[in-house]
Amino acid sequence: MKHGVKLTALSVFVALSLTACGGSDSKSTDKVVEEVKFDFSANEMITNLSNDVIVAGYENLNVKADELYLSTQNLVQDPTQDNLLAAQKAWVAARSPWEQGESHIFGPIDQMSIDPHLDSWPLATTDLQAVLDNVTNINAEFILKMNDNVQGYHTMEFLLFGNGIESNEKQIADLTEAERDYLLATAEIFKGYTQELEDAWLLGITDDNGEKDTPYLETFKSANNNIYGSQLAVIEELINGMIGIVDEVGNGKIADPFGASADKADTSLVESQYSWNSLKDFSDNITGVLNVYNGEFSGQSDKQGLYDFIASGDKALADRVLTEIEQAITDIEAISGENDMPFRRAITDDAGRERVQKAVDSLSTLQTSLESDVVELVKKWSGK
């Protein structure tokens, strides 16, 4: 798939026309004032974010996908409660790197439609149940021919945890043989997609003729090609990715089921509702923003991220945005309250709704800072 060049025209000068009014000999003077720019060498930051955040995240996702697949194999071969619990934990572990990676949904993940393959929502439970009730010999080849909304994370979630209405603690006696077969085949397909995603960044995408294009990692880092015509285009891609997921969490994932009041809340719209993992999803999404902003995963040695770029132009703004990201994560995690309330219950509870609204407000504040202040600051970068 061909992509247009992502370029932004920077305004270099501001022309101020100063006119002196008077008699026939009055003169008009145009004074050109150069706009203040800031310098920042972006090579190290872009290389670091490419290798140690984006690709490292996809490598971790692929490892967790493999562990999930192995856990489903164990569950099918030996269907015990302990093996079911192990598979549930493996699903949660595989969910986290994906959700954190939603802060940079671009490149191969978009080109190859990996997102809908892995994370389509809502799940078509009626279609899924029809297969479980009527199809024998369920395997990966059969499932691959079906729609994305009966594959991926949420299909495995439903099979592992149950419907999530009263509980997220499914019993092994309730996991049918057909469900185990469907789960194993879906995990196998899932693992294939995560491998393709990692390979696309490190090795390139293979076309129908078996030829590979340039690894996306090199395309992203070089910033001198038909996708990214400059380092500015790469930086804009990163910032837009952050804005996109902050908007999606605050104005979509949370706001859609939240509704205008408790009696208008719609729990059917809650993503990851079967496992009660929704709040972890949301906090991981914004943690992904934090990873890109800081330039490293939590607990790792300090490296350059977008914070360093922004601080070069406006240290106060860089610090404020960092505080707003951290506050948004804190407020999302606080939604569960003292009773560890799942999101689907918090949106129908008065005290829970107050906590939800606080998180939404924090996300809105962060989004405004990114869309207004950060985007405007980027225009002042000298490009060197």
In a domain, 8, yes or no: no
Residue 102: what pLDDT? 98
Domain identity same for 269 and 127: no
Domain total in the chain: 2
Final residue in a domain of this structure, among 220, 248, 273: 220
Final residue in a domain of this structure, among 220, 240, 257: 220
Final residue in a domain of this structure, among 165, 196, 220: 220
Parts of the chain with a pLDDT under 70: 1-34
- pTM, entire model: 0.90
Query: pLDDT tens-digit profile of 243-283?
Result: 999 999 999 999 999 999 999 999 999 999 999 999 999 99
Residue 33: what pLDDT? 57
Residue 18: what pLDDT? 34
Query: pLDDT tens-digit profile of 295-316?
Result: 999 999 899 999 999 999 999 9
Residue 35: what pLDDT? 74
Domain identity same for 299 and 348: yes
Residue span of the structural domain in which 155 resides: 52-220
Q: Which residues of 293-328 are buried (b: 16+ CB within 10 A; e: fewer)?
A: bbbbbeeeeebbbbbbbbbbbbeebbebbbebbbbb
Residue 312: what pLDDT? 98
Distance CA 196, CA 201 (A): 9
Residue 30: what pLDDT? 60
CATH number at residue 194: 1.20.1420.20
